[in-house]
Amino acid sequence: MEKNSKRVYNFNAGPAALPLTALQKAQEELLDFNGTGMSVMELSHRSKDYEAVHNRAIELLKELLAIPAGYEVLFLQGGASLQFAMVPLNFLPTGKKAGYVMTGVWSEKAYAEAEQLGEIFVAASAKEGNYRRIPAVEELKYNADAAYLHITSNNTIYGTAWQDFPDTGTVPLIADMSSDILSKPFDVSKFALIYAGAQKNLGPSGVTVVIIRRDLLEQANKKVPTMLRYGTYAKDNSLYNTPPTFSIYMIKLMLEWVKEQGGAAAIYKQNQQKAALIYDVIDDINGFYIGHAQPDARSLMNITFRLANEDLEKKFLDTAKKLGFVGLAGHRSAGGCRASVYNAVPYESCQALRELMLAFQKENA
Ligand code: PMP
């Protein structure tokens, strides 16, 4: 159980809560990492001490995500947003078309970026009805010669998530997993490329994790600037230039915590229990809290709900704020309320939110 009286109930959508033990370890090692007399921030990225951190973070990602042989794990900068451009720059050649499944604002952004760089099409969309659902596998429309199919595994703003991933055969499946990577076990081998900004489920901001299948890497467009080529990172173990060393170090600490919890399967169980605390209130007192996502498309990571009107929502958010809850307002493009309950959000925070929701309903029904 994580207790520290100064810590708030952090439901931020990202950057988000980190495990208390990881923060404490960073604090402990801040002035003297591993007997170097320096913090990790002050080490050369070419030093043995840093290299060990870097390689351990990669090794833990491979282990915890059960990444099969034949994949590279890369650390990039530029956020998931740069991936919206890097994917088509590298993998959308002239004469081919790439399909995008539209499930929210982040898919729209990925689409808009790719549209400037090559030929793309909408393979399916859940826009009608304001992104409350995920298209069924049968709705996906693409040809076998598509350059790739792009999906957003979890929709941070609308609070929906793919429950099962499609089998796309020979068409490379590419996923933005920024808001649910490592929240549950899944089959990496279905994907040709996965990318995720680290600042929700893996660590702090400043680093983007890319998992890429080597055969795809080999097909990449060579006429792309050096820093925008996946090959540059793969060739030099993400050490072609200076990587975001401290962010990668924090990933390592967070992954050590995930491993201590029992890995992806144990984290999944915790995530299900945490989300159920809140979804049960939405369902049990149906009508007071109105869930946005269709129940069969619910995200375990971002729980989105509305109250009867904006005044009541404001009162709820003001009450929450006074009681030490942070980050419960919905994204500016969607409004309402959103509780982001990523891997490191403690069970106790979810329990506290549940109690707040129940008490607020009693007083305001
Ligand atoms: N994709 C998804 C699913 C996201 O939630 C976000 C950020 N909230 C992004 C992409 C953009 O990430 P970044 O800020 O790292 O560019």
Locate the ligand 1 atom nearest the alpha carbon of residue 104 and give its number: 3
79 lines ligand 1 (CB under 6 A): yes
Output the pLDDT for position 348.
Answer: 97
Q: How confident is the model at residue 126 (pLDDT cuts 50, 70, 90)?
A: very high
- Nearest C-alpha to atom 15 of ligand 1 is from which residue? 79
| Ligand 1 contact, 15 CB (< 6 A) | no
pLDDT computed for residue 4 by the predictor: 58
106 a catalytic residue: yes
The alpha carbon of 14 and the centre of ligand 1 are apart by a number of angstroms equal to 8
| Fold: same for 23-260 and 263-364 | no
Whole-number Å distance, alpha carbon 153 to ligand 1 midpoint, is 12
Q: How far is the CA of 361 from the centre of ligand 1 (A)?
A: 32
Pick from 84, 100, 105, 156 the residue to mutate for probing ligand 1's pocket: most ligand atoms within 8 Å of its CB.
156
Neighbour-count burial for 73-93, b at 16+ CB within 10 Å, e otherwise: bbbbeebbbbbbbbbbbbbbe
Q: Which one of 25, 162, 176, 252 is the catalytic residue?
A: 176
Measured in Å, residue 271 CA sits from the centre of ligand 1 at 20
Q: Distance from the CA of 239 to the center of ligand 1, in angstroms?
A: 23
pLDDT of residue 332: 80
Say which amino acid occupies 60: L
User: Is ligand 1 within 6 A of the CB of residue 12?
Assistant: no
Nearest C-alpha neighbor of 32 from the set 49, 18, 55, 57:
49
Which residues, other chains included, contact 355 with Cβ-Cβ below 8 Å and sequence gap of 6+?
none
Catalytic residue, from 106, 162, 257, 274: name it.
Answer: 106
Mean pLDDT on 160-183? 98
pLDDT score recorded for residue 101: 98
- Using one digit for the tens of pLDDT, what is the confidence trace for 203-219? 999 999 999 999 999 99
Cβ(302) – ligand 1 distance below 6 Å: no
- Could you tell me the pLDDT band of residue 6, with boundaries at 50, 70 and 90? confident
Whether 186 shows a pLDDT value over 60: the answer reads yes
349 lines ligand 1 (CB under 6 A): no
Residue with CA nearest ligand 1 atom 9 = 80
Return the CATH fold of 23-260.
Aspartate Aminotransferase; domain 2 (3.40.640)
- Return the pLDDT at 47: 98
Q: What angle do CA 337, 153, 208 make, to 5 degrees?
A: 95
Catalytic option among 200, 252, 257, 274: 200
**Helix and strand tally (H, E) in the chain?**
10, 14
The question of whether 200 is a catalytic residue gets the answer yes
Per-residue pLDDT tens digits for 265-307: 999 999 999 999 999 999 998 789 999 999 999 999 999 999 9
Q: Is the dihedral of CA 125, 127, 128, 129 positive or negative?
A: positive
Confidence of residue 74 (pLDDT cuts 50, 70, 90): very high
Distance separating alpha carbons of residues 149 and 147, to the nearest angstrom: 7
Ligand 1 lined by 110 (C-beta under 6 Å): no
Q: Decide whether any atom of ligand 1 lies within 6 Å of the 107 Cβ.
A: no
- Say if ligand 1 is within 6 A of residue 180 CB: no
pLDDT band at 2 (very low <50, low <70, confident <90, very high): very low
- Please give the distance of CA 198 from its chain centroid, rounded to a whole number: 7
Indicate if the pLDDT at residue 3 is higher than 70.
no
Contacts of 191 (CB under 8 A, 6+ apart): 165, 173, 174, 175, 211, 213
For ligand 1, the distance from its centroid to the CA atom of residue 32, given in whole angstroms, is 33
What is the chain's mean pLDDT, rounded?
97
User: Ligand 1 in contact with 179 (CB < 6 A)?
Assistant: yes
φ, ψ at 103 (rounded to 5°): -130, 15
Pocket lining: 342 vs ligand 1, CB cutoff 6 Å: no
Query: Measured from the CA of 153, which atom of ligand 1 is nearest?
Result: 3
Q: How many angstroms separate the CA atoms of 120 and 143, rounded? A: 12
Per-residue pLDDT band at 1 (split at 50, 70, 90): very low
The domain segmentation of the chain, as residue ranges, is 23-260, 263-364
Would you state the pLDDT for residue 10?
A: 98
Q: Are 106 and 127 in contact (CB under 8 A)?
A: no
Q: Whose CA is closest to atom 5 on ligand 1?
A: 156
H helices of 301-346, where? 310-322
Mean pLDDT of 39-58: 98
**Is a pLDDT exceeding 80 seen at residue 354?**
yes
**What's the fold here for domain 263-364?**
Aspartate Aminotransferase, domain 1 (3.90.1150)
Mean pLDDT throughout 107-135? 97
